[in-house]
Structure 1
Amino acid sequence: MKRYGSVEAGGTKFVCAVSDENLTIIERVSFPTTTPEETMEQVIAFFSRYENSLASIGTGSFGPIDINKESPTYGYITSTPKLAWQHYDLLGTMKNHFNIPIAFTTDVNAACYGEYRLGSAKGKSNVVYYTVGTGIGGGAIQKDQFIEGFSHPEMGHMLVKPHSKDNFKGKCPFHNNCLEGMASGPAIEERLGQTGDRLSEEDPFWETEALYLAQCIYQTTLMLSPNVIILGGGVMHQSHLIEKVRDLFEELMNGYVTYPAIEEYIVLPKLGDNAGTLGCLTLAKELTNH
Structure 2
Amino acid sequence: MDDTSVYGAIEAGGTKWVCAVVDSGDHLLDTETIPTTTPRQTLDAAIGFLRRHGPLAAVGVGTFGPVDLRPGSPAYGHITTTPKPGWAHTDVVSPLRAALGVPVGLDTDVNAAALGEWRRGAGAGLGTVAYMTVGTGIGMGAVVEGRPLHGFLHPEFGHIRIPRDPGDPFPGSCPYHGDCLEGLASGTAMRTRAGRPAQELDDPHAWELEAGYLALAVVNLAYALSPERVVIGGGVAKHPGLLERVRERVAELAAGYPDTPKLDEYVVPPALGDRSGVVGAAGLARDALRVPEENV
Same fold flag (TM > 0.5): yes
Q: Distance in 2 between matches of 1:39 and 1:10?
A: 11
Match of 1:176 among 175, 178, 190: 178
Residue 143 of structure 1 deviates from its aligned partner by 1.8
Deviation per residue, 1:145-177 (Å, 9 max, x gap): 222111101001011111121111100011111
> Which residue number corresponds to residue 49 of structure 2?
46
Q: Describe the SS at the equivalent of 1:28.
A: strand
Q: Distance in 1 between matches of 2:145 and 2:27?
A: 26
> Which residue number corresponds to residue 203 of structure 1?
204
Q: Distance in 2 between matches of 1:4 and 1:264?
A: 32
Q: Describe the SS at the equivalent of 1:270.
A: coil
Q: Distance in 2 between matches of 1:247 and 1:274?
A: 27
> Which residue number corresponds to residue 113 of structure 1?
115
Q: 1:230 to 1:163 in 2, by over 3 A?
A: same
> Which residue number corresponds to residue 235 of structure 1?
236
RMSD: 1.3
Point out the more displaced range, 181-190 or 42-51: 42-51
Letter in 2 for 1:95: R
Is the 2:116–2:283 Cα contact (8 Å) retained in structure 1? yes
Residue 276 of structure 1 deviates from its aligned partner by 0.3
1:2 aligns with 2:5: yes
Residue 197 of structure 1 deviates from its aligned partner by 1.4
Q: Describe the SS at the equivalent of 2:57.
A: strand
Instruction: Give aligned-pair identity as a percent.
Output: 43
Q: Distance in 1 between matches of 2:23 and 2:127?
A: 27
1:190 aligns with 2:197: no
1:123 aligns with 2:156: no
Residue 239 of structure 1 deviates from its aligned partner by 2.6
Alignment of 1:257-276 (within 5 A): 257-276=258-277
Q: Which runs of 4+ in 1 moved over 3 A?
A: 285-290
Deviation per residue, 1:110-140 (Å, 9 max, x gap): 0000000100010111111100001100011
Q: Distance in 2 between matches of 1:17 and 1:144?
A: 22
Point out the more displaced range, 29-38 or 138-147: 138-147
Q: Distance in 1 between matches of 2:226 and 2:41?
A: 43
How many residues matched? Answer: 288
Deviation per residue, 1:174-205 (Å, 9 max, x gap): 111111101111110111011121123x6211
Letter in 2 for 1:245: V
Q: Distance in 1 between matches of 2:228 and 2:25?
A: 27
Q: Distance in 2 between matches of 1:289 and 1:70?
A: 16
Q: Distance in 2 between matches of 1:29 and 1:105?
A: 20
1:27 aligns with 2:27: no
| Structure 1 residues not aligned, in runs of 5+ | none
Letter in 2 for 1:108: V
Q: Distance in 1 between matches of 2:85 and 2:236?
A: 25
1:246 aligns with 2:247: yes
Q: Distance in 1 between matches of 2:108 and 2:69?
A: 9
| Structure 2 residues not aligned, in runs of 5+ | 292-296
Q: Distance in 1 between matches of 2:219 and 2:40?
A: 41
Residue 259 of structure 1 deviates from its aligned partner by 2.0
Letter in 1 for 2:239: Q
> Which residue number corresponds to residue 284 of structure 1?
285
Residue 28 of structure 1 deviates from its aligned partner by 0.5
Q: Describe the SS at the equivalent of 1:74.
A: coil
1:98 aligns with 2:128: no
Alignment of 1:124-139 (within 5 A): 124-139=126-141
Residue 73 of structure 1 deviates from its aligned partner by 0.4
Deviation per residue, 1:80-105 (Å, 9 max, x gap): 00131111111111111122121100
Letter in 2 for 1:265: Y
Q: Describe the SS at the equivalent of 1:27.
A: strand
Point out the more displaced range, 138-147 or 267-276: 138-147
Q: Describe the SS at the equivalent of 2:133.
A: strand
> Which residue number corresponds to residue 36 of structure 1?
39
Q: Distance in 2 between matches of 1:133 and 1:67?
A: 23
TM-score (norm 2): 0.94
Residue 289 of structure 1 deviates from its aligned partner by 6.9
Q: Distance in 2 between matches of 1:174 and 1:121?
A: 32
Residue 286 of structure 1 deviates from its aligned partner by 4.4
Letter in 1 for 2:141: G
Q: Distance in 2 between matches of 1:141 and 1:31?
A: 27
Residue 50 of structure 1 deviates from its aligned partner by 2.1
